[in-house]
Structure 1
Amino acid sequence: MTVADPDLYAFVIQLYPTEIHPASRPLGHGVQALFLDLVRQIDPALAAALHADAPGKPYTVAILPTPARNGQVWLRISLLRTDIFRTFVQALLRQPARQATLQLGKTTYRLGDIIGTPPPNGHPWAGYHSFTGLAQAATATATIELEFATATAIGQGTRPDGKPRLAILPDPELIFPSIAKRWNELAPPECRLDLEAVRAAANETLLSRYHAESVEINLGRGPQKGFTGRCIYELPPDPALARLISLLASAVFFTGVGIKTARGMGLCRQRSEVGR
Structure 2
Amino acid sequence: MPYSLVLNLLPRSPIPQAHLSGRHLHALFLDLVRSVDPELAAILHQQESEKAFTLSPLQVASSRRDNQKTQLLQWQHDRSIPAGTSCWWRVSLLDDALFSKLMHLWLNLNPSQAWHLGAADLQVVSVLGTPQVSQPWANFVTYTQLWEQASDEKRQLHFRFCTPTTFRQTKYDCALPTKDFVFLSLLRKWNHYSGNPFSEAILEPIYPSYFDIRTEIAIDSRSKLIGCVGDITFQILGDIEPIQIQQINALADFALYAGVGRKTPMGMGMAQRVN
Q: Could you state the TM-score of these two structures normalised by the residue count of structure 1?
A: 0.83
Q: Secondary structure of the equivalent of 1:63?
A: coil
Partner of 1:127: 139
Find 2:263's aligned residue among 260, 263, 267.
260
Partner of 1:162: none
The answer to whether the aligner puts 1:106 opposite 2:119 as a matched pair is yes
Q: Secondary structure of the equivalent of 1:184?
A: helix
Q: How does 1:244-255 map to 2 (within 5 A)?
A: 244-255=247-258
C-alpha change, 1:217 and 1:65, in structure 2 (3 Å) is farther
Partner of 1:210: 211
Cα RMSD (Å): 2.1
- Structure 2, unmatched stretches of 5+, are 65-80
Code of the residue aligned with 1:128 in structure 2: it is F
Partner of 1:153: 166
In 2, the alpha carbon distance for the partners of 1:157 and 1:181 equals 17
The answer to whether the aligner puts 1:167 opposite 2:174 as a matched pair is yes
The answer to whether the aligner puts 1:182 opposite 2:189 as a matched pair is yes
Code of the residue aligned with 2:255 in structure 1: it is V
In 1, the alpha carbon distance for the partners of 2:211 and 2:162 equals 13
- Structure 1, unmatched stretches of 5+, are 1-6, 159-164
CA shift for structure 1 position 240: 4.0
Code of the residue aligned with 1:244 in structure 2: it is Q
In 2, the alpha carbon distance for the partners of 1:225 and 1:88 equals 33
C-alpha change, 1:219 and 1:186, in structure 2 (3 Å) is farther
Do the aligned residues in 1 keep the contact of 2:146 with 2:253 (CA within 8 Å)? yes
Q: How does 1:11-50 map to 2 (within 5 A)?
A: 11-19=5-13, 21-24=14-17, 26-50=20-44
CA shift for structure 1 position 102: 1.7
CA displacement 1:125-144 (0-9 Å, x = unmatched): 01111112111222230312
Find 1:80's aligned residue among 94, 102, 112.
94
Find 1:242's aligned residue among 245, 250, 257.
245
CA displacement 1:216-239 (0-9 Å, x = unmatched): 222431222211111222222324
Do the aligned residues in 2 keep the contact of 1:151 with 1:215 (CA within 8 Å)? yes
Q: Secondary structure of the equivalent of 1:42?
A: coil
C-alpha change, 1:65 and 1:228, in structure 2 (3 Å) is farther
In 2, the alpha carbon distance for the partners of 1:11 and 1:211 equals 28
Q: How does 1:47-66 map to 2 (within 5 A)?
A: 47-63=41-57
Percent identical among aligned pairs is 27
In 1, the alpha carbon distance for the partners of 2:110 and 2:46 equals 29
CA shift for structure 1 position 94: 3.7
